[in-house]
Amino acid sequence: MTLVDETGRVVATTALHRSGGASDIVDGVWVRTFTFEFTDVPSAERYGVHFGNDHRATMWKDADDAKRNGWQLSLGN
């Protein structure tokens, strides 16, 4: 997983960590929760999170929103 700044430059990388507990079925969909954390991130006006291959989009937030609310991503359906 990578974090990019507003220019698209990679400013941090991290790995997903599986949260404790068993997987759940929610509305007929298999759900598993992972956590992640970026450290030593330089200042920027906005950040984008990219996970996986080039077919997945980068999800963007302005810096204040990212600090206040963090990130919650959903992969799959």
Laid out side by side, the sheet with 2-4 consists of 10-13, 2-4, 46-50, 59-62
Tens of pLDDT along 7-61? Answer: 999 999 999 888 776 667 878 877 888 888 999 999 999 999 998 888 888 999 9
Kindly report the pTM of this predicted structure. Answer: 0.78
pLDDT for position 34:
84
DSSP 3-state assignment of 67?
A: helix
pLDDT for position 77:
55
Tens of pLDDT along 52-75? Answer: 888 888 999 999 999 899 888 877
pLDDT for position 76:
65
Radius of gyration of the chain (CA): 14
